[in-house]
C-alpha cells in the first residue's frame, strides 16, 4: 500500500468545527478535572472526548472507575468528535482572553484552537481508543433533593476509609427508604451516621442499599457545591451508579461486598452527657493537639464538675492543657480520642453547640449536634489508650 494511502486511512479530515465561549468551556473543563486520570498507564484516559452536534459540545472524561459527561452551548459548523489532552487544554484555555474559541479537527487527530490572536495546535488521539461509557437507565430513577444529598455527604465523607485493603469501607453506604435517606461511613475507628426523614422518594419500596465509592463522593460533593440544580437523578444497574445533576452525568463503578453491620456499633447506654460550645471546643483541641504524639494524634478529655479539661503530651513536643466551662456534675471521667476525628465532626456539625455522650473510658463516645438540626446526625468515635 502506498504511503499516501496509509496516511489517508488514518485521518479524519476536518470532521469537526465549533465555536464556543471561553467562559462556558472553562467552566465545564474545570468541573471535569477531578475525573481525568493523572498518572495513567492508558494514554487515552488523559484526554477528553469532545463530541459536537445540534448546537452543543459534549465533553467526557473518565478514569474507567469514574466518568463525567457534561456539555455547553456551541456554534457547530461541522458535527463530529475528537480527543484532546485534558490537563494541557484546561491550563491553556484558562490563559486565553474572555472571547470565543474556535476548535477544529485537523489531520492525524491534531486539533486547532484559535482565540483572538492566539493560534495553537494540539496533538490528540484516535477517538476509537476512547472507552465507551454506560448509558443512563430508563427505569428505576430516584429523584434526590440536591441540597439534602449535599448535606449528607458533607457530614459523612471524611469518615470513609482510605486504606485500600479495607475495600468495602472505601465508600459510604446510602440507604433509601420511601420517606427517608441515610448515609453511613466508617473507617473502623469512627463512624458517621446521618439520616434525613420527611422526604418522599417515589419508586423506592422497602430499603434500597448502595455503596458509593469515595472518589464518587468527592466528585458529587464538588458538583453539588457548584450547581443550583434542585434535584439529583439517581439510578443504578448491576455494575454502575448514575448521578445526573442538571446537564452533568457522573457515573461510577459500584463497590461490591458487604458493608459492616453499623447498627451494632451505635451506642445504646451512653448515660453521661455534656453540652459544649462548638468553636470553644474546636479551638481548644487544635491548640492542645499541637503537643500530641504525631502518630496517634491522641488528646485526653477529662470531665469534671463544671468543666472539661483537654490535654496532650509527647516527649518530643512537650505538653499542653486547655479547659472549657461546661454544665457537668457527673462522676469524673477521663477518655482519649484522636484529635483529628473530633475536629472533623465539629467542622461538619454546623451548630453552635454539640453534645458529647459517654459511658466510660473504654467505650465508644458519641457526638451529635446539640440543637435542632434537619438531619439526625450521630458520630461515633472509638476511644484511645492514653
The CATH classification number of 267-381 equals 3.10.150.10
Residues 135-172: pLDDT tens digits? 999 889 999 999 999 999 999 999 998 877 766 788 99
Which of 129, 33, 124, 39 is closest to 85 using CA atoms?
Answer: 124
Q: Check residue 1 and give its pLDDT.
A: 38
Sheet of strand 80-85: strand arrangement: 80-85, 47-53, 56-62, 66-73, 248-253, 240-245, 231-236, 142-145
Second-level CATH architecture of 3-129: Roll (3.10)
Q: What is the mean pLDDT of residues 86-96?
A: 96
Contact 79, 52 (CB under 8 A): yes
Nearest partner of 354 among 341, 367, 364, 366, judged by Cα: 367
Give the mean model confidence (pLDDT) for residues 53-60. 96
pLDDT at 265 over 90: no
Name the grid cell of 295. 502518630
* pLDDT, position 150: 94
* pTM across the whole model: 0.89
The set of cell numbers assigned to 293 is 504524639
Percent of the chain with pLDDT over 90: 80
Q: How confident is the model at residue 184 (pLDDT cuts 50, 70, 90)?
A: very high
Burial class (CB in 10 A: 0-12, 13-18, 19+), 292: buried
Domain boundaries in the chain? 3-129, 142-262, 267-381
Binning pLDDT at 50, 70 and 90, where does residue 288 land?
very high
For residue 167, the model assigns a pLDDT of 66
The per-residue pLDDT for 250 is 97
- Is residue 347's pLDDT more than 90? yes
267-381 and 142-262 share a CATH fold: yes
Q: Which residues are CB-contacts of 23 (< 8 A; sequence separation ≥ 6)?
A: 98
pLDDT at 6: 34
- Averaged confidence pLDDT in the chain: 91
Decide: residue 4, CB within 10 A, 0-12 exposed, 13-18 middle, 19+ buried. exposed
* Nearest residue to 322 via CA among 284, 372, 368: 284
Percentage of residues of the chain with pLDDT beyond 70 = 95
Domain spanning 142-262 has what CATH number?
3.10.150.10
236 band by pLDDT with thresholds 50, 70 and 90: very high
Phi-psi region of 80 (alpha: psi -120 to 50; beta: other; left: phi over 0): left
Measuring CA to CA, how many Å separate 330 from each of 303, 307, 308, 333, 382? 8, 11, 12, 9, 21
Q: Which of 51-55, 161-165, 319-323, 361-365 has the lowest mean pLDDT?
A: 161-165
Note the pLDDT tens digit of each residue in 188-219.
Answer: 899 999 999 988 998 898 999 999 999 999 99
Q: Is the pLDDT of residue 5 over 60?
A: no
Q: Using CA atoms, how far apart are residues 300 and 303, in angstroms rounded to an integer?
A: 10
Amino acid at each position: 500500500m502506498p504511503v499516501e494511502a496509509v496516511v489517508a486511512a488514518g485521518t479524519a479530515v476536518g470532521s469537526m468545527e465549533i465555536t464556543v465561549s471561553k467562559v462556558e468551556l472553562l467552566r465545564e473543563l474545570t468541573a471535569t478535572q477531578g475525573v481525568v486520570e493523572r498518572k495513567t498507564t492508558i494514554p487515552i484516559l488523559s484526554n477528553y472526548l469532545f463530541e459536537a452536534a445540534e448546537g452543543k459540545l459534549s465533553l467526557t472524561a473518565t478514569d474507567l472507575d469514574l466518568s463525567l459527561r457534561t456539555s455547553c452551548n456551541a456554534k457547530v459548523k461541522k458535527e463530529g468528535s475528537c480527543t484532546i489532552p485534558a490537563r494541557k487544554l484546561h491550563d491553556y484555555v484558562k490563559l486565553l482572553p474572555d472571547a470565543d474559541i474556535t476548535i477544529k479537527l485537523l489531520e492525524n487527530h491534531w486539533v486547532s484552537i484559535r482565540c483572538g490572536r492566539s493560534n495553537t495546535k494540539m496533538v490528540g488521539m484516535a477517538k476509537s481508543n476512547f472507552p465507551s461509557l454506560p448509558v443512563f437507565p430508563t427505569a428505576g430513577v430516584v429523584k434526590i433533593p440536591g441540597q439534602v444529598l449535599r448535606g449528607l455527604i458533607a457530614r459523612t465523607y471524611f469518615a470513609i476509609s482510605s486504606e485500600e485493603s479495607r475495600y468495602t469501607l472505601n465508600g459510604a453506604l446510602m440507604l433509601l427508604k420511601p420517606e427517608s435517606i441515610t448515609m453511613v461511613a466508617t473507617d473502623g475507628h469512627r463512624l458517621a451516621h446521618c439520616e434525613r426523614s420527611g422526604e418522599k422518594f417515589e419508586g423506592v419500596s422497602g430499603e434500597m442499599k448502595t455503596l458509593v465509592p469515595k472518589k464518587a463522593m468527592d466528585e458529587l460533593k464538588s458538583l453539588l457545591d457548584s450547581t443550583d440544580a434542585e434535584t439529583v437523578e439517581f439510578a443504578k444497574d448491576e455494575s454502575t451508579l448514575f448521578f445526573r445533576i442538571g446537564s452533568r452525568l457522573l457515573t461510577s463503578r459500584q463497590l461490591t461486598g458487604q458493608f459492616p453491620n453499623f447498627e451494632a456499633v451505635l451506642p445504646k447506654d451512653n448515660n453521661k452527657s455534656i453540652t459544649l460550645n462548638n468553636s470553644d471546643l474546636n479551638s481548644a483541641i487544635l491548640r492542645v493537639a499541637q503537643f500530641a504524639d504525631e502518630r496517634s494524634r491522641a488528646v485526653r478529655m477529662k470531665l469534671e464538675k463544671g468543666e472539661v479539661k483537654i490535654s496532650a503530651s509527647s516527649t518530643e513536643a512537650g505538653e499542653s492543657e486547655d479547659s472549657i466551662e461546661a454544665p457537668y456534675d457527673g462522676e469524673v471521667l477521663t477518655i482519649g480520642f484522636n484529635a483529628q476525628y473530633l475536629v472533623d465532626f465539629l467542622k461538619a456539625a454546623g451548630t453552635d453547640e454539640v453534645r458529647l455522650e459517654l459511658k466510660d473510658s473504654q467505650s465508644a463516645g458519641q457526638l451529635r449536634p446539640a440543637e435542632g438540626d434537619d438531619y439526625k446526625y450521630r458520630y461515633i468515635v472509638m476511644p484511645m489508650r492514653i
